[in-house]
Amino acid sequence: MTNSTNKPIVVPIQRIETNTPSTKTFILKVPSIAQQGKPGQFVMVWTFDNEIPMSLSNIDPINELIGISVKRVGPSTEKMHFMREGSLMGVRGPYGSGFKIVGSRILVVGGGVGMACLFPLILQLIEAQKSVTVLIGALTKEELLFQKSLQEYTKYDNFRLSIATDDGSMGFHGLVTELMNETLQKKTFDQIYACGPELMLKTAFNIAESQNIAFQVSLERYMKCGIGLCGSCCIDGHIVCKDGPIFDSQVLRTMNEFGHSKRDPSGRLIPMTD
């Protein structure tokens, strides 16, 4: 579902939350996206000189608000980090497939800013009374996205949260995929959802496959149109902005590029390095 014109809707930023030293969440009032958006979908964000994809990290149809959580990595995200409440931002969408809600014993694995697309999914799973275990990984405790908000949900019997940091500053000392391995030795799950750096996702997928557990992942590829026209986001013949960004085990098994290569802005295939 899209807005009927695919033109950006320009709105003032309602609120800005600083989540970590590198990530800020921007809250916007966009009724059409707030009402149609589903966990796992994304919007194209227009910064008036560029347009970049961002997952919906907050979907609030009652107050007609959406959130995007932006990690500062280059020119466009840097520009967004300089914006203030009241500054204008353009958005179009929501685009792409959302996560499919399946299974009852759920493991959610998020690395870094990958938690952005998982956060609304987690809320949906808790509300649906699923048994939910979330593993959050980051380089340091300061970079753990949404850790404080998620900590509050541990009051519910159906929700567990574990932390992994690469430097050992909080929780498990090591990679979130190592924590995933450890968690799977203690508990059984029938569905895993993951988002984060692609090499982490590839490892997580291999672990899920070795244990025969269904897996859904959000993939990122270079996007220009966001609506299936330009082909810049192709992976093994799949159009990520339209067929994805959520892909399940069945499709991932057929992909050669997943965890190996991606296309640069000119369409050239380059090795995956993170």
Ligand X SMILES: Cc1cc2nc3c(=O)[nH]c(=O)nc-3n(C[C@H](O)[C@H](O)[C@H](O)COP(=O)(O)OP(=O)(O)OC[C@H]3O[C@@H](n4cnc5c(N)ncnc54)[C@H](O)[C@@H]3O)c2cc1C
Name the residue nearer to ligand X (CB basis): 95 or 159. 95
Q: Write the binding mask 45 to 84 for ligand X: x where contact by CB under 6 A, - elsewhere.
A: -------xxxx-x-----------xxx-xxxxx-------
**Is residue 52 part of the contact set for ligand FES (CB under 6 A)?**
no
Q: Does 226 bind ligand FES (CB under 6 A)?
A: yes
CA 122 to chain centre: 11
- Between 54 and 89, CB nearer to ligand X: 54
Are 146 and 119 in contact, with CB atoms under 8 Å apart? yes
Of the CA atoms within 13 Å of residue 120, those in its CB half-sphere come to 24
Phi, psi of 176 (to 5 degrees): -65, -25
User: For residues 232 and 252, what is the distance between their CA atoms, to the nearest angstrom?
Assistant: 19
Binding of residue 267 to ligand X (CB under 6 A): no
User: If binding is defined by CB under 6 A, does position 25 make contact with ligand X?
Assistant: no
- Residue 102 binds ligand X (CB under 6 A): no
Does the protein bind ligand FES through residue 267 (CB under 6 A)? no
In the complex, the smallest distance separating the C-beta of residue 248 from ligand X, rounded to whole angstroms, is: 16
Q: How far is C-alpha 48 from the chain's CA centre?
A: 24
| 3, 224, 243, 261: residue in contact with ligand FES (rule CB under 6 A) | 224
CB proximity list for 77: less than 8 A, separation 6 or greater? 52, 70, 71
Q: Tokens for 182?
A: 């450890």
Structure tokens given for 246:
């959520």
Taking alpha carbons only, the member of 244, 236, 135, 242 closest to residue 179 is 135
Q: Cα(246)–Cα(239) distance, rounded to whole angstroms?
A: 11
225 lies in the site for ligand FES, by CB under 6 A: yes
Select the residue interacting with ligand X from 67, 94, 245, 259 (CB under 6 A): 245
Q: Name which of 29 and 263 has its Cβ closer to ligand FES.
A: 263
Asked if 246 touches ligand FES (CB under 6 A), the answer is no
Locus of tokens 């980090």: 81
Contact segment (CB under 6 A) with ligand X among 8-16, 109-117, 153-161, 178-186 equals 109-117
Q: What is the CA radius of gyration of the chain?
A: 18
Which residues sit at the interface with ligand FES, rule CB under 6 A?
A: 223-226, 228-233, 239, 241
Which residues sit at the interface with ligand X, rule CB under 6 A?
A: 42, 52-55, 57, 69-71, 73-77, 113, 116-117, 220-223, 245
